[in-house]
Amino acid sequence: MPVSPYTQERLDEAARSSRTLSEALTKLGVDPKSSTRRYLNERMKKLDVDISHFEHEGVRWTKDLRRALRETGVPEHCAKCGTAPEWNGKPMTLEIDHINGDWSDDRRENLRLLCPNCHAITSTWCRGGKQRRT
């Protein structure tokens, strides 16, 4: 069985000097969006590498993106069916849809708010429009 190049020492050092998992992976020379991300995250946990100080990247990004959309005047309703962020008297989260399917393209003209039903039937929902690589 080959020895992993991601030793306890390398993982400890990368984690200690980083604020996020993506930052640690970059320091290890790994693309943070690659499939190796999950492997290294699990390896860090298995080797008991301290990652308790890591910030959760997606939560802040989504809140900032929602705030920016609100500030630019994007109406708080589904861009397809017009549903407000309330369903049967209860709050409902409208989802951010990247129209061209590229989740890293946060230009205003590429973003819209959709209700979960309308978002689920788009070709870009959960990368639904892209073929899986085998």
Per residue in 9-58, pLDDT (tens digit) is 999 999 999 988 889 999 999 988 888 888 999 999 999 999 888 876 65
Taking residues 51-78, report their average pLDDT. Answer: 79
Residue 78 burial (10 A CB sphere; 0-12, 13-18, 19+) = buried
pLDDT of 123 above 90? no
Q: Record the tokens describing residue 72, joined without a space.
A: 């630019």
Q: State the pLDDT at residue 131.
A: 41
Note the pLDDT tens digit of each residue in 90-117: 999 999 998 888 877 888 898 999 999 9
Taking Cα atoms as reference points, which of 52, 49, 58 lies closest to residue 14? 49
- The answer, yes or no, to whether residue 134 has pLDDT greater than 50, is no
Which tokens is 96 given? 């951010």
Report the C-alpha dihedral over residues 65, 67, 69, 72, rounded to 10 degrees: -130
CA angle 93, 95, 97 (to 5 degrees): 170
Mean pLDDT of 53-64: 68
- In the predicted model, what is the mean pLDDT of residues 80-90? 92
pLDDT at residue 19, rounded to an integer = 86
- Which pLDDT belongs to residue 84? 93
Position 106 scores a pLDDT of 82
